[in-house]
Amino acid sequence: MEYHTPGVYIREVDSGAKPITSVPTSVPGFLGLFPYNPEPDAIAITGTDGRRQLTGKVIPSLVDSKGAIKSQAPEAVTALTTAFRFKRSQVRDIKALMALHGATRSGKDAPRFSAGSKGKVKIEWAGQTMEAPDNVVDVKGKVITESDQAVEDLLNSVHETFQLDKRPTSARTAADVLAVYGYDFSGARGSAMRSEYSVPPMAVTNKAEFFRWLQSFFAMYLLETSTVEDLVGQTYDDPDDAADAVFDALANDDTLKERFRAWLSQPSVFNFVASVNGFYDNGGSKCYVYLMGTSDLDCSIRENQADKLGLYAFDDMDDIALMAAPGLNPSQQREILEHCETRKDRFAILDGPIVSSGDMDIPASEKGYGAIYVPWLKITKPSWFDGGQDHLQVTGSNRRKLLKTSRNELFVPPSGHMAGVYARVDGERGVHKAPANELVMGITGLSQNINRIEQGQYNDRGINVTRDFKDRGIRIWGARTLGTASDPSWRYINVRRLFIMVEQSIMLGSQWSVFEPNDLTLWKKLTRDVRAYLMRVWRGGALFGKTAEEAFYVKCDDETNPRYLIDAGQVNVQVGICPVKPAEFVVFSIGQWDGGGLIEE
């Protein structure tokens, strides 16, 4: 700043530290699927000429799913011709063209093609006769030339002689139209432009808010698949008013209530709803909920990134730290894990099978970005549930291990309840505390009992077991990630999640430094801010060491930032932390001495 006029000037100087705040660690994103079969908004017609296949789409009001043309033949012919992008010069069958305008294909009233004068083919129909060059059309009525102009001249003569433009179109099927252009009809099927039903994820903070979201979601879904008149018996011009009317009717109309209960009771939807409720039962607060309708419940949940479907729907939710897809199949569970592994800012909580053995198949995680839990849990049947769980079939030797439910119990996948335990432990102790040796609340039992001896095989492979202890309740008895075998450094859940928190907190808290002059001043500020943050983390008990120097280090100087990195526009900060690890195996050494028993830890 330059000064020219005498006086007093105020200049703000940014001399203080810029505190780094820890990012949320216990906000999960829940993904669920439900069956969705949209009404066709188009009929896809397929035709082939033996060499290639073409597909064109027309609206269902003109052609049905078998390829039959409905009442509006002229409009259907125009629509099919447009859908296949046929040009006039592409006509390959004059006999089929005349049939399209009322001619029969056989009998005395059918058009006749025969040899005419030299170099000509004679065409006779409805008392009219014309001749065409035999190098353009043959005696079977097939166009045999590749010359567009020759075809145009032939069609002009045919239309003028037989007055085709004045004859009504008599096509009955899409095959009649395709034949004119030399294509055979292959098939027809209904298709929808939108094959999935999806709305963006919503943040909810308690069970009541979650249930209102479910009602609102179902009301919008009903409007997508039915008319508002059929639902509430009234017409609304404003879509929001229509949605509000259906939402209100869900609480008052018995028919809609039953439809809502039936929708909630579908296996995939029930797993989703029960898991989110289990999250709140175990101490959860905020979470994001997302349901996607699809015709194939075993589909990939990666879906389309451009349309923000499936896992990509969570791309813009930066505060999500956990991911769960309750009850989805193993390949979909694997996709959840890979999603977290790719993003590096989230941790996947996966469901194992309802009944398992220690040699069960599990997904792999290179850096431990997920954990898997067995067995499933039992809960008391909710008042809104209508149906059973006959779809849960256990076969083979594992069938004997299944602990049956009572009349008023249901099985639920464990991931939602585990996410709630994560949130509870984070709030009470911190992310550095392993979410294990913790009671699982809101449940009545387990689908399988796994004893101490059996658990050894599970634990070695990174499979976390929930066990029922006499007089101590049902507790999570494992704290390992799926990175156990590939990299022991990321063996424990709390270590992986602590690093996610520290990395994301430093990254977000240091955004102010982008485009700052890359000099000693910047290096000192970054060192100061990161040290101050890690000091708080250490004092909170998350880092191991008697002193701060033993617990972490931060280095940002001319050694970490040589000239070639500065010229490349980079500033390099090296951070090392020593995380606390869970006391997974507590060992006491017991010996004898003359004065009594001696116990050494």
SS3 for 351-395 is ECCCCCCCCCCCCCCCCCCEEEEECCEEEECCCCCCCCCCCCCCC
Q: Closest Cα partner for 538 from 525, 547, 529?
A: 547
- What confidence tier does 52 reach under pLDDT thresholds 50, 70, 90? confident
Classify 105 in phi/psi space as left (phi over 0), alpha (psi -120 to 50) or beta: alpha
Structure tokens at 426: 């984070």
Give yes or no: residues 187 and 232 share one domain: no
Residue 557 has pLDDT above 60, yes or no: yes
Q: Do 291 and 216 contact (CB within 8 A), yes or no? A: no
Q: Closest Cα partner for 443 from 374, 385, 378?
A: 378
Residue 589 has pLDDT above 90, yes or no: no
Residue 333 has pLDDT above 90, yes or no: yes
Residue 414: inside a domain, yes or no?
Answer: yes
Q: Which helix (H) or strand (E) covers residue 463, if one does?
A: strand 463-469
Q: Which helix (H) or strand (E) covers residue 591, if one does?
A: strand 589-593
**Average model confidence (pLDDT) across the chain:** 90
Q: How many domains does the chain have?
A: 3
* Rounded CA separation 463/430 (Å): 23
Residue 26: inside a domain, yes or no?
Answer: no
Give yes or no: residues 410 and 352 share one domain: yes
Residue 127 has pLDDT above 60, yes or no: yes
3-state class percentages of the chain: helix first, strand second, coil last, to nearest 5: 35, 20, 45
* Rounded CA separation 316/290 (Å): 13
- The set of residues, in sequence order, having a beta carbon less than 8 Å from that of 341 and lying 6+ positions away, is 365, 366, 367, 369, 370
Give yes or no: residues 187 and 203 share one domain: no
Give yes or no: residues 314 and 456 share one domain: yes
The residue assigned the tokens 């076969």 is 395
Share of the chain above pLDDT 70, in %: 97
- What confidence tier does 335 reach under pLDDT thresholds 50, 70, 90? very high
Average pLDDT (372-394) is: 94
Q: Do 289 and 213 contact (CB within 8 A), yes or no? A: yes
Average pLDDT (340-351) is: 96
Structure tokens at 14: 């940014």
Residue 333: inside a domain, yes or no?
Answer: yes
Give yes or no: residues 302 and 409 share one domain: yes
> What's the domain range around 206?
197-490
- How long, in residues, is the chain? 601
Residue 321 — φ and ψ, nearest 5°?
-120, -15
Residue 5: inside a domain, yes or no?
Answer: yes
Residue 503: inside a domain, yes or no?
Answer: no
Q: Of 191, 224, 246, which residue constitutes the final position of a domain?
A: 191
Give yes or no: residues 171 and 204 share one domain: no
Residue 228: inside a domain, yes or no?
Answer: yes
- pLDDT for position 569: 93
Give yes or no: residues 103 and 211 share one domain: no
- pLDDT for position 594: 61
- What confidence tier does 601 reach under pLDDT thresholds 50, 70, 90? very low
Whether residue 414 is preceded by a cis peptide bond, meaning omega within 30 degrees of 0, is no
- pLDDT for position 288: 98
Dihedral sign, Cα of residue 132, residue 135, residue 140, residue 144: negative
Distances (CA, A) of 303 to 293, 329, 407: 12, 15, 38
Pairing of strands 347-351, 370-374: parallel
Residue 486 — φ and ψ, nearest 5°?
-75, -35
- The better pLDDT of the pair 490, 601 is held by 490
- One-character DSSP codes across 486-530: T-GGG-BHHHHHHHHHHHHHHHHHTGGGTTS--SHHHHHHHHHHH
Residue 141 has pLDDT above 60, yes or no: yes
**What SS3 class is residue 214?**
helix
* Residue 41 one-letter amino acid: D
- pLDDT for position 193: 66
Give yes or no: residues 482 and 590 share one domain: no
- pLDDT for position 584: 67
Q: Do 377 and 443 contact (CB within 8 A), yes or no? A: yes
Average pLDDT (258-274) is: 96
Angle at 23 between CA 19 and CA 29, to 5 degrees: 165
Considering 14-28, 73-87, 94-108, 268-282, the range whose residues carry the highest mean pLDDT is: 268-282
Residue 573: inside a domain, yes or no?
Answer: yes
Distances (CA, A) of 22 to 40, 107, 185, 430, 500: 49, 87, 63, 11, 10
* Rounded CA separation 529/124 (Å): 95
Give yes or no: residues 102 and 230 share one domain: no
Average pLDDT (268-281) is: 97
Residue 538: inside a domain, yes or no?
Answer: yes
Residue 524 has pLDDT above 90, yes or no: yes
- pLDDT for position 240: 84
* Rounded CA separation 361/375 (Å): 14
